[in-house]
């Protein structure tokens, strides 16, 4: 297990290091969050190595194989993510997010449609408000480009 965790920790630490130094190209205000998360990523990578050294037998490799159903589910989720990114240009972030969340709830078997609709709409609106209104991050508007 140490080999796998060591490789992953090395990749994540390298990614954090790259992001940290790349963020120096931004203004001081814009670079704060990328630097913060890069440092967090590097600290977590180091913590993974330390944790694996201290408790090497924590996770045992299972002999269970992944079923065909799980592969299909993974393929559906990956395809829906690609379609979501493409649809964002046409439908906008909020509408695409509502559709994606509704679809993913359905794929995972959650069939309480009233709750699914409420959760999909509410969480998409909350994320839109946080990023677009409070953080002033422009999100794709799609059909509603001239509306906001």
Residue ranges covered by each domain of the chain:
2-54, 68-144
pTM above 0.85, yes or no: no
Per-residue confidence in pLDDT tens, the chain, 148 aa:
567 888 899 999 999 999 999 999 988 888 888 999 999 999 999 999 999 888 877 666 556 677 888 889 999 999 999 999 999 988 989 999 999 999 999 999 898 999 999 999 999 999 999 988 888 888 888 877 766 5
Ramachandran sector of residue 81 (left: φ over 0; alpha: ψ -120 to 50; beta: rest):
alpha
Question: Which residues, 6 or more positions from 141, have their beta carbon under 8 angstroms from its beta carbon?
Answer: 92, 93, 147, 148
């Amino acid at each position: 297990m140490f080999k796998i965790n060591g490789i992953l920790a090395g990749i994540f630490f390298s990614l954090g290091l790259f992001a940290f130094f790349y963020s120096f190209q931004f203004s001081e205000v814009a670079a704060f969050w990328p630097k913060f998360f890069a440092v967090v990523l590097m600290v977590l990578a180091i913590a993974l190595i330390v944790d694996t050294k201290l408790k090497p037998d924590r996770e045992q490799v299972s002999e269970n194989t992944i079923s065909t159903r799980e592969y299909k589910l993974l393929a559906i989720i990956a395809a829906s993510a690609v379609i979501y990114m493409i649809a964002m240009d046409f439908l906008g972030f909020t509408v695409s997010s509502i559709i994606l969340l509704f679809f993913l709830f359905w794929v995972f078997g959650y069939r309480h449609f009233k709750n699914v609709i409420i959760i999909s709409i509410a969480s998409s609106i909350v994320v839109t408000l946080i990023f677009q209104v409070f953080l002033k991050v422009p999100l794709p508007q799609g059909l509603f480009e001239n509306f906001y």
